[in-house]
Structure 1
Amino acid sequence: MLNMKVLDYRITSDTNQVTVSKVRRDDKEQIIMVKDKDGNELEAVSTVGWYASLEMALKGIQKHHTLGGDTEIQTIKDYRKALSDVQKAFANELEV
């Protein structure tokens, strides 16, 4: 079972799929916390998508980060930087 964090993305899995979610932040850029039915504090997340494999999920994160993320992209250079940022985050996770 996967339970990973890359940037603001959360990657989890079950026997059938890989789920990618993104944490929600408030106006002060703090992660919003919510309580579950048992009173445990959890990060508030929005679902990005469901994928058949981790590789597909990582591609989905790249797409979301560059096309649907919070970064405004106005040039090809901006796009390449946003893509590079998320790929570096993946690489950093591999080094740990």
Structure 2
Amino acid sequence: MLNMKVLDYRIISDANQVTVNKVRRNDQESILMVTDKDGTQRESQGLVGHYSNLMKALVAIQRDYVLAEGTDIQTVKEYKKSLETITSTLENKLELGEKF
């Protein structure tokens, strides 16, 4: 079972799929918290998607990172830089020994 955190992304899995969620933040950039009906506090998250394997999930994170609301990319050079940023962050945080 996967249970990873990379930046605002939460990657979890079960026997059938890999799920990627992204935490929600308020205007002050703090992570929003919600209270379950049993009183437990947890991060407020939005679904990025469900994927058949980790590599597809990582590609989805790259796509979300550069296309998400609040991102303002105006040139191909800025797009490339954003992709390089998220790719290197994923490689470092997940200790991927090779490029994906």
**TM-score tier after normalising by the smaller chain length:** over 0.9
User: Shift of residue 69 of structure 1?
Assistant: 4.7
Letter of the 2:36 counterpart: D
Give the structure 1 partner of residue 53 of structure 2.
53
For the residue of structure 1 that corresponds to 2:92, the secondary structure is: helix
When you count helix as a share of all residues, which structure comes out higher? 1
Contact 1:71 1:82 in 2 (8 A): no
- For these two proteins, the number of residue pairs brought into alignment is 95
Cα RMSD after superposing both structures = 1.2
For the residue of structure 1 that corresponds to 2:16, the secondary structure is: coil
Any stretches of 5+ residues in structure 1 without a counterpart? none
Give the structure 2 partner of residue 32 of structure 1.
32
Measure, in 2, the Cα distance between the counterparts of 1:65 and 1:79. 10
* Identity across matched positions, percent: 53
Contact 1:5 1:11 in 2 (8 A): yes
Calculate the TM-score normalised by the size of structure 2: 0.89
Measure, in 2, the Cα distance between the counterparts of 1:58 and 1:75. 23
User: Shift of residue 4 of structure 1?
Assistant: 0.4
User: Shift of residue 59 of structure 1?
Assistant: 0.5
Any stretches of 5+ residues in structure 2 without a counterpart? none
Measure, in 2, the Cα distance between the counterparts of 1:11 and 1:17. 11
Measure, in 2, the Cα distance between the counterparts of 1:41 and 1:75. 40
